[in-house]
Amino acid sequence: MDTDPLEQIFNAKFFNGLSKTACEKLAKLSRRKTVEKRDILFMEGSTGNAVYLLVSGSIQLVKTNLDGKETVIKTVKQGELFAEVILFEKPRYPVTAIARSNVEVIELPRSGFLSLLNEEEFRSDFMGMLMAKQRYLAERIQQLTSMDVEDRFTEFLREHYGEQSAITPELSKKDIASAIGATPETFSRLLKKLETHGNFSWKDKTIRLTPAFWESF
């Protein structure tokens, strides 16, 4: 079934507060794009020609340090806009976007987006939205930095999949460990600890959780 860009944009949390007319203008700029698992959507340092809205699948934003080590900055959720930094800073991507599964995105060209921002009504709506997002991110950073690895893992599951009794992550254990800021070894110890409580198990590709697991967090 074809993706309706207008519906995706209108329902995206990032664009909450934009009028339908503004969303229609964005939809006219957009195009659908698919990315195969493990392929790169854009590279760190490359020219930022577009921002993206994730429709399906999983994208990780990765930063490479001077030693060549990769750090996962963010795991993008479905319905999230990403790479929007190129609209306001230097038009180069500050991270690499890697598909961790087959992915579909809506691509919004930077040039068209900037043209819309020259329209006073659209710019006013968009900047108000951006300020609200910045406040939310500041609060989330403060919250996450105060959490231990167990709490971060639980919050990751809750945010990405909801309080389900069975979850089949698209990401590998290594990728999830990176997403929550844990080493693979620390994450492995955490999983063993959780399994001893009897409320959590991860066999093959499926995580199973009892109501008691969610009640404890």
The letter for the amino acid at 23 is C
Nearest to 27, CA basis, from 4, 44, 54, 57: 4
The most confident of the ranges 30-44, 66-80, 165-179 is 30-44
Question: Quick one: pLDDT at residue 75?
Answer: 87
Please give the pLDDT value at position 2.
56
Is residue 172 scored above 60 in pLDDT? Answer: yes
Is 146's pLDDT higher than 80?
no
Q: In what order do the strands lie in the sheet with 103-109?
A: 31-35, 103-109, 50-56, 81-82
Per the CB < 8 A criterion, the answer to whether 51 and 116 are in contact is no
pLDDT of 129 strictly over 80: no
- What mean pLDDT, rounded, does the chain reach? 86
The residues that bridge with 53 in the sheet, in sequence order, are 81, 106
Per-residue confidence (pLDDT) for residue 108, from 0 to 100: 95
Fold annotation for 5-145? Jelly Rolls (2.60.120)
SS3 206: strand
**Residue 20 pLDDT level (bands cut at 50, 70, 90):** confident
Q: How many CA atoms lie within 13 A of 12 on its CB side?
A: 30
Three-state DSSP class for residue 106 = strand
Question: The pTM is what?
Answer: 0.66
| Cα 77 from Cα 80, distance rounded (Å) | 6
Buried b (16+ CB within 10 A) or exposed e, 101-121: eebbbbbbebeebeebeeeee
Q: For the chain, what are the domain ranges?
A: 5-145, 149-215
> So what's the architecture of 149-215 in CATH?
Orthogonal Bundle (1.10)
Residue 175: predicted pLDDT: 84
98 residue type, one letter: I
Ranges 74-83, 119-128, 134-143: which has the least confidence: 134-143
Higher pLDDT, 52 or 70: 52
DSSP secondary-structure letter at 68? S
Q: In the structure, what pLDDT confidence band is assigned to residue 1 with cuts at 50, 70 and 90?
A: very low
pLDDT band at 193 (very low <50, low <70, confident <90, very high): very high
Question: Using an 8 Å Cβ cutoff, are 99 and 39 in contact?
Answer: yes
What is residue 104's three-state secondary structure? strand
